[in-house]
Copies of this chain bind each other. A is one copy, B any other.
Amino acid sequence: MSHSPALHDTTDIAAYMQALGQAARQAAKHLRRADTGRKNRALKAMAERLDRARQAVLAANAEDMQRGREAGLDDALLDRLALTEARIDAMIDGLHQVAALPDPVGELDGLRARPSGIQVGQMRVPLGVIGIIFESRPNVTVEAASLCLKSGNACILRGGSEARASNAALSECLKAGLQDAGLPAGTVQVVATTDRAAVGELICMPDYVDVIIPRGGKSLIERISREARVPVIKHLDGVCHVYIDATADADKALAIAINAKTQRYGTCNTMETLLVDAPVAGSLLPALAERFAEHGVELRGCERTREVLGDITPALDADWAEEYLAPVLAIKVVDGMDEATAHIERYGSQHTDTIVTQDYSLARRFMAEVDSSSVMVNASTRFADGTEYGLGAEIGISTDKLHARGPVGLEGLTTRKYVVFGDGHVRQ
């Protein structure tokens, strides 16, 4: 496949990004026709190429790590940047897993005959070209590319500058795999400049890019959403709630609250605020506090919580809207579900909220009234995840309401067009 020189010349960022966009748009046209078999062959070829290039990938990563250490990156960031044999194994497994997922493209739903004689249905098709902007973890390069490819989309990937050598080495494997399967190189393109202007260009090319998915901190995502001239599927914060109703089974309530907070602290589906119905605050809060203390979780409570638990840190108004991503939990005692749902409506981020209750009618009302991307009954918020939901893999979690909401898997990377079959039919 021939390569335009503009695809390699990063001196003029705008011209370079336009060249990537054009190549992606061309590739997308090709991908609309690619059948599942060919896409899967490319995914497996990528896995094989990556397996054979382990040494080159690890060497490139060592370069990034060295530069990162010199730049004084903290340990958490260095850990996310690091590649190991085990992490390469995981990327290879991931490629095979995506190959094994059902292909959503071409599904035809709801085909029915209309009184006019035409048949109308909706066919699932790729979005086209997806731009993904992410931070340090180089494995996102492989994961994002594989999901976009399987769903029939071309993608332009802009990784973090600290991972640039790793991403370039991974990109070589992906391109080689595409070539092995006879798919155009423009199917997966990794932006080869760390100049920040490239992001500005990428999010303002509606002719070449159909949707932008930013993965990273809230400030990055807010900036991209504000400046983009292309639709953005975004994930802002996860201020998730567990509400324990007075009728809750105490053991289940304890298990869910502890799991929702402590199973992992840094994830968006971790509980950040616990709401407890007043009649059971006296009996449940001490037991909860004891368990949280074992996990080293700092509690911040409303006045009524502090009446039960004694001298814990008072929760300020800002605590209710805070995504701690840390072993810190805000607790509020409420008078019944209506106060709980009003609190969730006011301070929540419409991500994931759960009720613990044995009351059928309350469960049903909570389901209908809480307007979040995941609403749960008697289950830990930590289940809000593409793998747990059976999507196979997820490219992110959307807190938007339009298009994809909640964990975004292959289906979220597609759209549906209407198809009409006639036999000379005209409108009367």
Residue numbers of A with Cβ under 8 A of B are 29, 32-33, 106, 112, 114, 116, 118, 120, 123, 125, 127-128, 210-211, 231, 233, 249, 251-252, 255-256, 258-260, 263, 345, 354, 365, 367-369, 371-380, 382-384, 388-390, 400-403, 405-407, 415-427
Whether B375 contacts A417 by the Cβ 8 Å rule is yes
What is the bound-complex CA distance between A362 and B13, given in angstroms? 41
Whether B415 contacts A112 by the Cβ 8 Å rule is no
Asked, given contacts A231-B400, A256-B424, A259-B426, whether A368 binds B106 with beta carbons under 8 Å apart, the answer is yes
The answer, among B128, B251, B407, for a CB contact under 8 Å with A401, is: B128
Whether B32 contacts A401 by the Cβ 8 Å rule is no
What is the bound-complex CA distance between A376 and B114, given in angstroms? 14
Task: Give the number of copies in the complex.
Answer: 2
Whether B231 contacts A379 by the Cβ 8 Å rule is no
Asked, given contacts A118-B383, A256-B424, whether A127 binds B402 with beta carbons under 8 Å apart, the answer is yes
Q: Which residues of B contact A367 (CB under 8 A)?
A: 123, 419
What is the bound-complex CA distance between A171 and B390, given in angstroms? 46
A415's nearest neighbour on chain B, judged by CB, is B401
Q: Which residues of B contact A112 (CB under 8 A)?
A: 390
Q: Which residues of B contact A418 (CB under 8 A)?
A: 373-375, 384, 389, 405-407
* Shortest CB distance A269–B (Å): 9
* Shortest CB distance A376–B (Å): 4
Q: Which residues of B contact A369 (CB under 8 A)?
A: 29, 32-33
What is the bound-complex CA distance between A427 and B383, given in angstroms? 6
What is the bound-complex CA distance between A29 and B427, given in angstroms? 41
What is the bound-complex CA distance between A152 and B144, given in angstroms? 35
8 pairs, CB–CB < 8 Å, chain A vs chain B: A112-B390, A210-B402, A263-B427, A372-B417, A374-B419, A375-B417, A377-B422, A379-B424
Asked, given contacts A118-B383, A420-B377, A423-B378, whether A401 binds B210 with beta carbons under 8 Å apart, the answer is yes
Whether B403 contacts A403 by the Cβ 8 Å rule is yes
Whether B378 contacts A425 by the Cβ 8 Å rule is yes
Whether B426 contacts A255 by the Cβ 8 Å rule is yes
What is the bound-complex CA distance between A377 and B384, given in angstroms? 41
Whether B388 contacts A116 by the Cβ 8 Å rule is yes
Q: Which residues of B contact A233 (CB under 8 A)?
A: 402
Whether B389 contacts A114 by the Cβ 8 Å rule is yes
What is the bound-complex CA distance between A251 and B425, given in angstroms? 11
Whether B374 contacts A420 by the Cβ 8 Å rule is yes
Q: Which residues of B contact A425 (CB under 8 A)?
A: 256, 378-380, 383
Q: Which residues of B contact A263 (CB under 8 A)?
A: 426-427
17 new A-B contacts at CB < 8 Å, known A29-B371, A376-B422: A29-B345, A33-B365, A112-B390, A114-B388, A128-B371, A211-B401, A249-B424, A255-B424, A255-B426, A259-B427, A373-B417, A377-B421, A379-B420, A379-B424, A379-B426, A406-B417, A406-B418
Whether A427 contacts B345 by the Cβ 8 Å rule is no
Whether A118 contacts B368 by the Cβ 8 Å rule is no
Q: Which residues of B contact A384 (CB under 8 A)?
A: 418, 420
What is the bound-complex CA distance between A260 and B47, given in angstroms? 49
What is the bound-complex CA distance between A211 and B402, given in angstroms? 8
Q: Which residues of B contact A380 (CB under 8 A)?
A: 422, 425-427
